[in-house]
Structure 1
Amino acid sequence: MEGRAARERLQGQIDTIGHIMELTGCPSVGIGVLHQGQTIFEHFQGLSDVTRKVQVDKDTCYMIGSLTKAFVSASCGILVEEGKLDWAEPMATYIPFHQKNDPVIAQRACLADALSHSSGFPQIDISWYGADGESILDPGDLLHVTSHMPVFPDFRAKLHYSNWPYALAGRIIEAVGGNDASDGWGGFVQKRIFDQLSMSRSTTSRADLVDRNFAEPHTVLSSRQPARLPVPDISSKTITGAAMAIWSTVPDMLTWSKAILERLKAENQHDESKTTTSRVAGRSALGNDGKDGDHGDLRGVNNGYTDSKRTQDGWPARTTDLTSSEPQMDLKMSTPGEAVRKQENPLRQVLHITSHRFPITDDTVHENTYGFGWARHQIPSCHLGWLSINGPQKCHIIGAQSQPRLLLYHGGQVTGYLNSIYVFPETDSAIVVLTNAQSLGDCSDLVGQALVQALFKMEPELDFRSIAASISGEHLLRFDEMKTEYESNRVPNTKSPDLREVEGVFMNSDIRVKINVSRVGNENGRLEMRLNDRESQRHRLQHYHYDTFGFLPESRDEKELRCLVDYGSYQQFLLSFVRGEQCEITGLEWVMENGFPPLRFERLSSD
Structure 2
Amino acid sequence: MWLLARLQALGPIISQICEIAGTPGLSLGVLHHGEVVHLANFGVRDVDTHLPPDEHTAYVIGSMTKAITAAMIGILVDEGKLTWTTKLHDIIPTFQRAEYDPANNITITDLLSHRTGLPSYDAYWLLSDNKIPITRADAVPILSHVPIAADLRTEFVYNNMAYEVLGQVIEKVSGANYSTFLTNRILNPLEMTQTFYTTLPSDFKNVAKGYNALQNASVVSVPPPIYGDDVLMGAAGGVRSSVHDLLILYNAFIDAAGSQIQGRTLTIPQNPLRQLDHIFQGKISLPPSTLLEASYASGWGRLQLPLSNKLGYDPPMSTLGVGLPSRLCLHHGGAIFGYLTFTAIFPETGSAVVVLSNSYSLVNAPVLVGHLLIEELFGNTINVTDFTEYAKTAARTNAAAMDNIKIQLIQNRTVEEPANPLQAYVGTYYNSINNFFIEIRQKDGHLAVHFMGLEGFDLEPFQHNSFFWYMSYDELARRARLAGFPMEYYIIEFAHVHGEGNATDDPGSDGINALRWKHEFALKDKGEVFRKRNRLDEPFGQQKG
TM-score for both structures, normalised by structure 1: 0.82
User: Is residue 560 of structure 1 aligned with residue 477 of structure 2?
Assistant: yes
Q: 1:424-435 residue pairs with structure 2 within 5 A?
A: 424-435=346-357
3-state SS of 2:433 partner: coil
> Structure 1's 503 and 488: CA in aligned 2 closer, same or farther, altered over 3 A?
same
Partners of 2:451 and 2:342 in 1: CA distance? 32
3-state SS of 2:250 partner: helix
User: Is residue 578 of structure 1 aligned with residue 495 of structure 2?
Assistant: yes
Matched residues, number = 523
Letter in 2 for 1:260: F
Letter in 2 for 1:210: D
User: Is residue 504 of structure 1 aligned with residue 427 of structure 2?
Assistant: yes
Segment of structure 1 superposing worse, 488-497 or 396-405? 488-497
Note if contact 1:98-1:106 (Cα within 8 Å) is conserved in structure 2: no
Find the partner of 1:75 among 72, 77, 86. 72
Find the partner of 1:108 among 97, 105, 128. 105
Partners of 2:156 and 2:512 in 1: CA distance? 37
User: Is residue 605 of structure 1 aligned with residue 534 of structure 2?
Assistant: yes
3-state SS of 2:439 partner: strand
What residue is the counterpart of 1:350 in the other structure?
276
Letter in 2 for 1:121: L
User: Is residue 399 of structure 1 aligned with residue 316 of structure 2?
Assistant: no
User: Is residue 385 of structure 1 aligned with residue 311 of structure 2?
Assistant: yes
Find the partner of 2:292 among 366, 369, 372. 366
Q: 1:49-448 residue pairs with structure 2 within 5 A?
A: 49-101=46-98, 103-178=100-175, 181=176, 184-208=177-201, 210-235=203-228, 237-270=230-263, 343-386=269-312, 390-391=313-314, 394-448=316-370
> Structure 1's 96 and 461: CA in aligned 2 closer, same or farther, altered over 3 A?
same
> Structure 1's 149 and 102: CA in aligned 2 closer, same or farther, altered over 3 A?
farther
TM-superposed CA distance for 1:558, in Å, is 0.2
TM-superposed CA distance for 1:399, in Å, is 2.2
Partners of 1:545 and 1:15 in 2: CA distance? 51
Partners of 2:295 and 2:216 in 1: CA distance? 38
Partners of 1:248 and 1:575 in 2: CA distance? 39
3-state SS of 2:394 partner: helix
Note if contact 1:505-1:606 (Cα within 8 Å) is conserved in structure 2: no
> Structure 1's 341 and 469: CA in aligned 2 closer, same or farther, altered over 3 A?
closer
Note if contact 1:398-1:460 (Cα within 8 Å) is conserved in structure 2: no
Note if contact 2:85-2:109 (Cα within 8 Å) is conserved in structure 1: yes
TM-superposed CA distance for 1:98, in Å, is 2.9
Partners of 1:102 and 1:363 in 2: CA distance? 37
Segment of structure 1 superposing worse, 573-582 or 115-124? 573-582
3-state SS of 1:48 partner: coil
Letter in 2 for 1:431: V
Partners of 1:380 and 1:341 in 2: CA distance? 29
> Structure 1's 447 and 394: CA in aligned 2 closer, same or farther, altered over 3 A?
same
Partners of 1:359 and 1:153 in 2: CA distance? 14
User: Is residue 543 of structure 1 aligned with residue 425 of structure 2?
Assistant: no
TM-superposed CA distance for 1:196, in Å, is 1.3
What residue is the counterpart of 1:311 in the other structure?
none
TM-superposed CA distance for 1:225, in Å, is 0.8
1:263-316, CA deviations, whole angstroms, 9 ceiling, x for partnerless residues?
A: 01111233x99xxxxxxxxxxxxxxxxxxxxxxxxxxxxxxxxxxxxxxxxxxx
> Structure 1's 233 and 459: CA in aligned 2 closer, same or farther, altered over 3 A?
closer
Note if contact 1:235-1:245 (Cα within 8 Å) is conserved in structure 2: no
User: Is residue 43 of structure 1 aligned with residue 40 of structure 2?
Assistant: yes
Letter in 1 for 2:480: C
3-state SS of 1:426 partner: helix
TM-superposed CA distance for 1:451, in Å, is 0.8
Note if contact 1:441-1:475 (Cα within 8 Å) is conserved in structure 2: yes
TM-superposed CA distance for 1:10, in Å, is 0.3
TM-superposed CA distance for 1:482, in Å, is 1.8
Letter in 2 for 1:29: L
Note if contact 1:440-1:471 (Cα within 8 Å) is conserved in structure 2: yes
Find the partner of 2:407 among 479, 484, 492. 484
> Structure 1's 233 and 437: CA in aligned 2 closer, same or farther, altered over 3 A?
same
TM-superposed CA distance for 1:106, in Å, is 4.7
Partners of 2:423 and 2:351 in 1: CA distance? 63
What residue is the counterpart of 1:457 in the other structure?
379
1:540-561, CA deviations, whole angstroms, 9 ceiling, x for partnerless residues?
A: 22222221111211x2100111
Partners of 1:202 and 1:434 in 2: CA distance? 13
Partners of 2:102 and 2:41 in 1: CA distance? 45
Letter in 2 for 1:347: L
Partners of 1:511 and 1:461 in 2: CA distance? 54
Aligned CA-pair RMSD: 2.1
Partners of 1:258 and 1:88 in 2: CA distance? 28
Question: Can you give the 5+ residue segments of structure 1 that lack an aligned partner in the other structure?
Answer: 274-339
3-state SS of 1:418 partner: strand
3-state SS of 1:161 partner: coil
Partners of 2:489 and 2:334 in 1: CA distance? 23
> Structure 1's 64 and 566: CA in aligned 2 closer, same or farther, altered over 3 A?
farther
What residue is the counterpart of 2:502 in the other structure?
none
Letter in 1 for 2:408: E
Letter in 1 for 2:489: Q
TM-superposed CA distance for 1:570, in Å, is 1.8
Segment of structure 1 superposing worse, 16-25 or 470-479? 470-479
TM-superposed CA distance for 1:567, in Å, is 5.3
1:165-190, CA deviations, whole angstroms, 9 ceiling, x for partnerless residues?
A: 11111111001113xx2xx2222112
Note if contact 1:19-1:465 (Cα within 8 Å) is conserved in structure 2: yes
TM-superposed CA distance for 1:606, in Å, is 9.3
Partners of 2:169 and 2:68 in 1: CA distance? 14
3-state SS of 2:26 partner: strand
User: Is residue 13 of structure 1 aligned with residue 6 of structure 2?
Assistant: no
Taking only the aligned residue pairs, the percentage that are identical comes to 29
Letter in 2 for 1:212: K
Letter in 2 for 1:131: S
Find the partner of 1:530 among 433, 450, 461. 450
